[in-house]
Structure 1
Amino acid sequence: MPVRDATFGDALRSEWTKIRTLRSTMWTLGVMLLVVVGIGLLVASVMSGHEASGFPALAAGFFGVLLGSLSVITLGVLVISSEYSTGMIRTTLTACPSRSRVLAAKAVVFFSLAFVLTTVACLLVAAVDSSLISGHGVLAPSGSQWARATVGIGLYVALLGLLALAVGAMLRHSAGAITAMLGVVLLPLLLALFMAGESLQTLRTDLIEYSVPNALAAIYGIPMLDSGPHGWTPLWILAGVTVVALAGAFTVINKRDV
């Protein structure tokens, strides 16, 4: 058989085969779809027929997305950390010695899959929500709101998962990386809830403004505070953080042993 060096296309095909055949992918993304669609439609059905003056029609999807993003984060970590825990990473790097190429292929395949599935789920929820809770003082969605509630949310959740992948590559430990990411998502807002002192108000406000739940709420047009990032800004902030984390992951993976 002819022998040739592995290309980036080979790495992409390999990672696609892995991610679509792993049971963890089916479970995590299945739970994500169930939670995003199920809770989104449940909230819309509860709100239908009730007065909700000033509430954006598409914002009912926020609650399901917030919980569903935890499944995407978990899968992002497992995409890389599971290979270290099973020793499969040795086989992967034997077939494709370029560690940067392997990590880049994992990032591209995972991000694409997470973005497409999340966007499709959000589009379904947004379409049903807009029909169920229209009227009764609910704000009709504009084109920008539709874009943020579907593509914007899809990008944000996929970037959260990509950040988790970068953290998993640096820590190489599934439980540690998942715990770290849950802390990033939930801890700032939880800490802010217990900061009642007047001297801590500035820190409390900052923690709320830049927390992940508030970022998702801001993209939907229902931020927890009037100040802080609005519209598409939370997405650009997360993109910057993810780029920095990925740079750290590429640096670390090339400097240490398997």
Structure 2
Amino acid sequence: MTTTTTPAERESPREAVGLQGRGTPAGFPGALAAEWTKLWSVRAPYFCLLVGIAITGVFTYYYAAIARINEQPIQPVGNAAAASAVLAQFAVVILATVAVTSEYSTGSVRASLLWVPRRHRVHAAKAVVVGGVAFVAGTGYAIVGTAVAWGAFGGRSSFEAGTTLMQVLAVGGYQALVAVLTVGVAFATRHAAGALSILVTLLWALPSVLLGLGGPTLAAINDHLPHGAADHFMRVGTEAPHTAAISVLIVAAWAVAAHMVGLYVLRRRDA
């Protein structure tokens, strides 16, 4: 009687051990490449990025026009782009949410975990890819917003190359941290509706309520929420309860906390 062997059975012991040790033939770079390919294989990211540009353009024009009409004091032109992040961030939130939850809705997450059995590697690769895209998108939004606002301000703004560059990079950095935070929340909830409910509450609804009610205590709480802290290092000339470096650390702490929660759920629950 003759028997047939599969290609996997014909592997040498050394090759088999090598594949097990690495998780994937290409290791972490291979996981990054896979996440990059999956991200751009659907239309949602393109749509989200275009919507983000449109939101930034409209908001910055409105922000600058109001400053001109009300004859507000001259301010750095980059403040308009920084202020627009309160809305433009949701283009990044939706992009990052879809990047995670679409795999659960279609069941393709099982294939991802078979290809990359080390779950922390899948989680990290997703966060790096989406965070990198968000950084590039955020800096692009800031550049577009600054250009639009410069004309709409009508002389009610100032331009300094160093300050403007720092604000552009700050907006990009914030969007990247928001993307990492979103990936963590999406892995924890596994459902787009649940993730978006949490993120809209955290990034917009709760800050709006705190600032609307007013008072030093509620304002202090808002200063320790992601966007409240980020506003202090993205905008220039505003009063801040702590330094820009502390503000960055606060937002980063939120992102790291969400990342760890998402990783815990990914490791503990079956796909």
Common fold: TM-score over 0.5 = yes
Which of 112, 116, 121 does residue 96 from structure 1 map onto? 116
Counterpart for residue 25 of structure 1: 45
2:181 maps to 1:163: yes
User: How many angstroms apart in 1 are the aligned matches of 2:251 and 2:228?
Assistant: 12
Counterpart for residue 257 of structure 1: 270
Counterpart for residue 106 of structure 1: 126
Q: Tell whether the 8 Å contact from 1:209 to 1:229 is kept in structure 2 after alignment.
A: no
Give the TM-score normalised by structure 2.
Answer: 0.81
User: How many angstroms apart in 1 are the aligned matches of 2:30 and 2:142?
Assistant: 32
- Residue ranges of structure 2 left out of the alignment (5+ in a row): 1-6, 12-18
2:205 maps to 1:187: yes
Percent of aligned positions that are identical: 25
Superposition misfits of 4+ residues, deviation over 6 angstroms: none
1:33-44 alignment runs, 5 A limit:
33-44=53-64
Paired amino acid for 1:147:
L
User: How many angstroms apart in 2 are the aligned matches of 1:228 and 1:252?
Assistant: 35
- Residue ranges of structure 1 left out of the alignment (5+ in a row): none
Q: Tell whether the 8 Å contact from 1:119 to 1:150 is kept in structure 2 after alignment.
A: yes
RMSD: 2.6
Paired amino acid for 1:126:
T
Per-residue deviation, 1:27: 1.7
Q: Tell whether the 8 Å contact from 1:188 to 1:207 is kept in structure 2 after alignment.
A: no
1:33-72 alignment runs, 5 A limit:
33-44=53-64, 47=67, 51-72=71-92
Q: Tell whether the 8 Å contact from 1:110 to 1:162 is kept in structure 2 after alignment.
A: yes
Larger radius of gyration: 2
Paired amino acid for 2:48:
T
User: How many angstroms apart in 1 are the aligned matches of 2:58 and 2:50?
Assistant: 12
Give the TM-score normalised by structure 1.
Answer: 0.84
Deviates more, 1:55-64 or 1:151-160: 55-64
Q: Tell whether the 8 Å contact from 1:81 to 1:169 is kept in structure 2 after alignment.
A: yes
Q: Secondary structure of 1:21's partner?
A: coil
User: How many angstroms apart in 1 are the aligned matches of 2:63 and 2:240?
Assistant: 26
Paired amino acid for 2:228:
N
User: How many angstroms apart in 1 are the aligned matches of 2:205 and 2:63?
Assistant: 25
User: How many angstroms apart in 2 are the aligned matches of 1:172 and 1:105?
Assistant: 17
2:160 maps to 1:146: no
Q: Secondary structure of 2:213's partner?
A: coil
User: How many angstroms apart in 2 are the aligned matches of 1:241 and 1:66?
Assistant: 16
Provide the aligned length of Structure 1 versus Structure 2: 250
Question: Cα deviation per residue 1:77-132 (whole Å; 9 max; x = unaligned)?
Answer: 22112211211101111222111111111111111111112112212322453465
